[in-house]
């Protein structure tokens, strides 16, 4: 029997309008109710319509024209303290999204555009592999989450050394495959899969950002946050937001926003002393070091970071993107950045030397970033010609495919350190022209 939409609408209106004031007028308008529902959505409020649009939807629901969909029913339950059954008795339970054949064909076509030529060729093999997995003792479900955590871990390692345009197709193919697993998962298995989904989404955000696709990166970061929140994993939620903050810093976004993002991650962790919060703490220290008059705060943030890092077990440089690790190279890289911008030349040089001594030669981009920080410090100390020359040699020694947007940002910051009076010097102009660089402020 179909649900009585009019009865549901009347119930929703009554709940919104109670309690009333002494004149019998409702305390909550539809606009205020829309704001209440958006507040209840928390981190996913960005997926909801604006207040005005949502208020119109509330009016239609209360009139009985429609009933709230699966996105809105849990919000009503949350703000009223009632169950969905009590509020929407007779409605079928919300079902997870299950892609149609058309959706699947579209996703495969997208992979094809990214250069994943094997997307269609492997199609006949996949059912065979799945059948074999099901036949093994314990079945496939038992291993599914662990398998995807391993895949996310491998992509994290690959990100550090692989040119981003080569990494992106493989990353996208795995995201599409994981999507199919999520569509068929249920209950706790689905929540557990949200963990690797959040990690892969974050890695995709990092990858498209290093390719200079900032708008796509912002969308992928939003998806990574939603997936990590759905996983309920505290460490992953901190990790995603910490790396989003660092990505925002290296993308040249406003420093006030970078600080807010890093603080959001730190607050999630509270007094937790694990590795997941360290990227956010590092971002905060770096952002403060670039802000006028906040060098002392940056130094304090750096000391707090060192104190937290000293309680962690040792890890390798290529574990930088593991949720539970933050290696020594990350600490020295952060110190090199902070002390370059706070003007503590001796400490900056010490950190640069330590980072380069520990970064493996395969981490070409990271080593180049340290050298660009060295060049920035030279310019800030007054050696403009020497600094831009050092930066130029660094970029020339890096393959074009490795000159990512992050590296370009470091190259631009060298220019930004040049005093206005020296911008017309031939060494500066040659450096800018050779690598087609704007200043960081013109990006």
- Lowest mean pLDDT: which of 185-199, 209-223, 306-320? 185-199
The tokens for 257 are 């926003």
Q: How many domains does the chain have?
A: 2
On whether residue 300 sits in a domain, the answer given is no
pLDDT in tens, 374-406: 999 999 999 999 999 999 999 999 999 999 999
Average pLDDT of the chain to the nearest whole number:
86
What per-residue string of b and e applies to 396-418 under the rule 16 or more CB within 10 Å gives b? eebeeebbbbbbbbbbbbbbebb
**Is residue 268 situated within a structural domain?**
no
CA angle 376, 381, 382 (to 5 degrees): 100
Which candidate, 195, 169, 181, 174, places its Cα nearest to that of 144? 181
Q: 59-68, 128-137, 241-250, 335-344 — which is least confidently predicted? A: 128-137
Name 308's bridge partners. Answer: none
- What's the distance, CA 381 to chain centroid? 35
In contact, 183 and 198? CB cutoff 8 Å: no
Residue 63 lies in a domain: yes
pLDDT digits (tens, 9 = 90+) for 193-206: 999 999 999 999 99
Q: CATH number of the domain that 62 lies in?
A: 1.10.260
Closest CA to 152 of 192, 185, 188: 192
Confidence band (pLDDT; 50, 70, 90) for 145? confident
Alpha carbon distance 237, 235 (integer Å):
5
**Which of residues 221, 238, 260 is at a domain's end?**
221
Q: Does position 214 have pLDDT exceeding 60, yes or no?
A: yes
Q: Which domain holds residue 49?
A: 5-88
pTM: 0.73
pLDDT digits (tens, 9 = 90+) for 414-428: 999 999 999 999 999
Domain annotation covers residue 65:
yes
């Amino acid at each position: 029997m179909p649900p009585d939409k009019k009865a549901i609408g009347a119930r929703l209106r009554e709940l919104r309008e109670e309690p009333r004031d002494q004149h019998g007028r409702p305390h909550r308008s539809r606009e205020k109710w829309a704001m209440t529902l958006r507040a209840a959505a928390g981190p996913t409020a960005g997926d909801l319509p604006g207040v005005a649009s949502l208020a119109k939807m509330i009016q239609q629901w209360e009139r009985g024209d429609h009933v709230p969909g699966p996105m809105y029913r849990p919000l009503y339950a949350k703000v009223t303290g009632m169950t969905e059954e009590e509020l929407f008795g007779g409605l079928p339970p919300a079902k997870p999204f299950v892609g149609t054949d058309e959706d699947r064909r579209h996703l495969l076509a997208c992979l094809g555009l990214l250069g994943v030529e094997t997307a269609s060729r492997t199609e006949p093999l996949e059912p065979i592999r799945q059948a074999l997995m099901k036949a093994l003792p314990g079945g496939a479900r038992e291993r599914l989450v662990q398998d995807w955590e391993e895949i996310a871990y491998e992509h994290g390692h690959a990100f550090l050394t692989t040119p981003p345009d080569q990494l992106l197709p493989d990353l996208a193919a795995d995201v599409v495959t994981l999507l199919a697993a999520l569509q068929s998962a249920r209950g706790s298995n689905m929540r557990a899969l949200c963990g690797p989904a959040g990690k892969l989404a974050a890695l995709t955000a990092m990858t498209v950002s290093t390719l200079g696709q900032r708008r796509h990166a912002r969308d992928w970061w939003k998806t990574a946050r939603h997936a990590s929140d759905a996983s309920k994993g505290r460490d992953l939620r901190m990790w995603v937001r910490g790396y989003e903050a660092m990505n925002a810093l290296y993308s040249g976004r406003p420093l006030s926003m970078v600080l807010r993002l890093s603080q959001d991650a730190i607050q999630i962790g509270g007094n937790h002393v694990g590795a997941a919060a360290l990227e956010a703490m590092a971002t905060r220290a770096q952002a403060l070091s670039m802000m006028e008059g906040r060098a002392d705060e940056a130094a304090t943030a750096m000391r707090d970071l060192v104190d937290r890092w000293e309680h962690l077990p040792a890890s390798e440089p290529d574990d930088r993107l593991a949720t539970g690790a933050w290696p020594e190279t990350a600490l020295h890289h952060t110190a090199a950045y902070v002390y370059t911008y706070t003007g503590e030349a001796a400490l900056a040089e010490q950190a640069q030397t330590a980072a380069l001594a520990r970064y493996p030669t395969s981490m070409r981009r990271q080593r180049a970033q340290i050298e660009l920080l060295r060049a920035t410090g030279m310019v800030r100390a007054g050696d403009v010609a020497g600094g831009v020359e050092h930066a130029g040699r660094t970029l020339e020694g890096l393959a074009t495919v490795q000159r990512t947007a992050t590296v370009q940002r470091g190259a631009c910051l060298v220019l930004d350190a040049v005093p206005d009076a020296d911008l017309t010097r031939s060494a500066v102009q040659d450096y800018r022209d050779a690598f087609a660089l704007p200043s960081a402020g013109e990006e």
